[in-house]
Amino acid sequence: MSIPATMRALQQTSTRGPQDMRSITDAPVPSPDRGEVLIRVAAAGVNFADISKAHGTFRGGPQPPYLAGFEAAGEVVAVGAAVTGPRPGTHVIGVGHGAFAEYMVLTAAAAMPVPAGWTGEQALGLVVNWPTALAALKPLGRMAAGETVLVHAAAGATGQAAVTMAKHYGATVIATAAPSKHEAVLALGADHVLDSLDGDLSAEVLRLTGGGGADVVLESAGGATFNASLAAAKPVTGRVVVYGVAGGAAAITNWDLVYKHQVHIIGLNIGVLIQAAPEIFGELISELSALIAAGVLAPAAPTTYDLADGPKALAQLEARATVGKLALRP
Ligand SMILES: NC(=O)c1ccc[n+]([C@@H]2O[C@H](COP(=O)([O-])OP(=O)(O)OC[C@H]3O[C@@H](n4cnc5c(N)ncnc54)[C@H](OP(=O)(O)O)[C@@H]3O)[C@@H](O)[C@H]2O)c1
């Protein structure tokens, strides 16, 4: 199969947000450098980080104009120098630059095979949302069977994986989501689901835990919810894993930690974890593979959009109007 010189792609042209993402038809098809492979994108994953990048708030993110998107699955169609695998014809998933396009380059060593029998689209989440959820629960949140885990954005791509895995590991799950999404969250096995816009989330969590609080909080909501998460965590032993700022930055002081919230606050950024603690990432991927083999994690069934409708998909994600994973098909 011949590889064209140019391709369709979505280009982010400003830091004003996803509305300034435009379709182009003449983006150069990248060529794989040493240690890289070129994939023909079957499906690109949409992530909350795409929104942060479009607003210029993702630390170290790309400067416009740039090809948007960073997660994609597809078939390897060319390999750079010194690549021993994956070979052309292999279906892989990975992260890189410019996933909202017909072709994309991935680092060969980090390109993961799509699980046997799955389509690329069904594997979306495997290298971003699922390891983030698992890292938050296990190596960082140190959850144990019988503990209570509070999961925000539980109907989202990362939240659904977190609820599924926390239940599998024997936790009681208190989830938060918009009311229209509660059914989806309960179907995953969550024990309780609260309205994420309820002004008194911490009181509800304390009521559901007999006044004790949650052992682990998966905090991605940010804004005013961050404070509720701190108040909902069990004093002295509660762990609050902070991995998202959807509602904006929120502050905590040393005074708060001494006098108000005697909890463990743990930051998580999966990109930094991959770089700084590759052995932990390797363990996460091994565990995810085992969960897939055991049928705990099922193929994703993302809501799909045409590539050209990417700005619409991002706008819906930003407006809290989506459930589960979103994908763009080039
Ligand atoms: N640190 C990392 O490495 C890492 C990796 C992956 C994801 N994340 C973070 O995990 C979170 C979920 O990401 P995702 O891609 O899976 O998205 P998602 O959960 O599918 O969608 C985001 C959801 O967050 C909830 N939310 C709460 N406050 C919000 C606000 N002020 N604005 C918009 N949404 C808000 C909404 O659910 P309700 O309306 O139902 O409450 C919304 O549907 C994001 O914060 C993301 O940045 C972090």
Whether the upstream peptide bond of residue 65 has omega within 30° of 0, thus cis, is: yes
CA pair distance 132, 138, nearest whole angstrom: 10
Q: Residue 1's pLDDT is what?
A: 65
pLDDT tens by residue, 279-289: 999 999 999 99
pLDDT digits (tens, 9 = 90+) for 9-40: 999 999 999 999 999 999 999 999 999 999 99
CATH 3.90.180.10, applies to 129-271: yes
Instruction: Please indicate whether residue 316, judged by its CB atom, sits closer than 6 Å to ligand 1.
Output: no
CB of 229 within 8 A of CB of 204? no
Going by alpha carbons, the residue nearest to atom 22 of ligand 1 is: 156
Write the CATH number of the domain with boundaries 6-124+300-329. Answer: 3.90.180.10
Report the amino acid identity of residue 90.
Answer: T
Q: What is the pLDDT of residues 246-257, one digit of tens each?
A: 999 999 999 999
**Quick check: CB of 296 below 6 Å from ligand 1?**
no
- Decide whether 6-124+300-329 matches 129-271 in CATH topology: yes
Taking the whole predicted model, whether its pTM rises above 0.85 is answered as yes
The Cα–Cα gap between 330 and 328 comes to: 6
Q: What percent of the chain has pLDDT over 70?
A: 100
- For ligand 1, pick from 55, 95, 158, 303 the residue to mutate: most ligand atoms within 8 Å of CB: 158
- Kindly list the domain boundaries of the chain, sorted by start residue: 6-124+300-329, 129-271
Q: Which whole number is the average pLDDT over 121-134?
A: 97
Mean pLDDT of 203-213: 98
Cα 192 to ligand 1 centroid, rounded to whole Å? 19
Backbone torsions φ then ψ of 159, nearest 5 degrees: -65, -40
Is the pLDDT assigned to residue 199 strictly greater than 90?
A: no
Confidence band for 232, pLDDT divided at 50, 70 and 90? very high
- Rg, the chain, Cα only: 20
Structure tokens at 192: 């309780």
